Chains A and B, each alone.
Chain A
Amino acid sequence: QSALTQPASVSGSPGQSITISCTGTSSDVGTYVYVSWYQHHPDKAPKLMIYEVNNRPSGVSDRFSGSKSGNTASLTISGLQAEDEADYYCSSYTSTNTVLFGGGTKLTVL
């Protein structure tokens, strides 16, 4: 199975909003609500930011939100802050009882 499709990079200035897309197929993103988003800083463990498309785990800022339309899920970060600079990955449960990650998106805060 191919990885979910994410843009390689996005950027924004402090205070702005950005959106990262994650495109899959009807065998994964398009069918299941089990879409998650992770933040990954270099040399640290990945951190779960969104689960089941649009739910935030306890402790995650409400500046992070998720949505889905058809085969594409999206992560929006509002009020960008310097510490948001990281790699972001989407993941989805699939029809073959596996999980697919996206290729990752590098967020740069200008």
Chain B
Amino acid sequence: EVQLLESGGGLVQPGGSLRLSCAASGFIFSDYVMTWVRQAPGKGLEWVSAISGGGTITYYADSVKGRLTVSRDNSKNTVYLQMNSLRAEDTAIYYCAKSLFPASSPVDGSDIWGQGTMVTVSS
């Protein structure tokens, strides 16, 4: 069964850091772009970042560029989101998702999503 399981969320103070992980199973992980999408409380979905299958190409929304860093370890079938200089507006459920087709960029939709991990930035 194809599965994604996020972890690492929690409560962090403004300016703090957190690293999210997303463990994948059931597919050839290195073939697929992996994406992070977040949903703030009461708000819609927001695309955050993506990384190519080989991990050499990364993509970021302007709102997180320079503060969030996506990476992956294909030997562990895991994608990460390092979150630094966190702000209150980063408070959200963070989902990781797998691209529908093997590709080098996040052009197509994501067909498999995790259940999400909650990040709360508050003092």
Residues of A near any B CB (own CB < 8 A): 1, 3, 32, 34, 36, 38, 40, 45-48, 50-52, 57, 87, 89, 91, 93, 97-104
CB distance from A80 to the nearest CB of B (A): 22
Residues of B near any A CB (own CB < 8 A): 35, 37, 44-47, 50, 59-62, 95, 97, 100, 105-111, 113-116
Q: What would be 23 A-B contacts, judged by CB atoms less than 8 Å apart?
A: A32-B107, A34-B108, A38-B109, A45-B113, A46-B37, A46-B45, A46-B110, A46-B113, A48-B109, A51-B108, A57-B109, A57-B111, A89-B44, A89-B45, A91-B45, A93-B105, A97-B59, A97-B106, A98-B59, A99-B47, A100-B47, A101-B45, A102-B44
Q: Which residues of B contact A36 (CB under 8 A)?
A: 108-110
Asked if B105 and A97 make an inter-chain contact with CB atoms under 8 angstroms apart, the answer reads yes
CB distance from A2 to the nearest CB of B (A): 11
In the assembled complex, the Cα of A40 lies from the Cα of B44 at a distance in Å of 10
Q: Which residues of A contact B105 (CB under 8 A)?
A: 93, 97
Asked if A101 and B46 make an inter-chain contact with CB atoms under 8 angstroms apart, the answer reads yes
CB distance from A8 to the nearest CB of B (A): 10
In the assembled complex, the Cα of A85 lies from the Cα of B106 at a distance in Å of 28
Known: A46-B95, A99-B50. 6 other contacts (CB 8 A): A1-B61, A3-B46, A34-B108, A36-B108, A93-B107, A99-B106
In the assembled complex, the Cα of A85 lies from the Cα of B61 at a distance in Å of 29
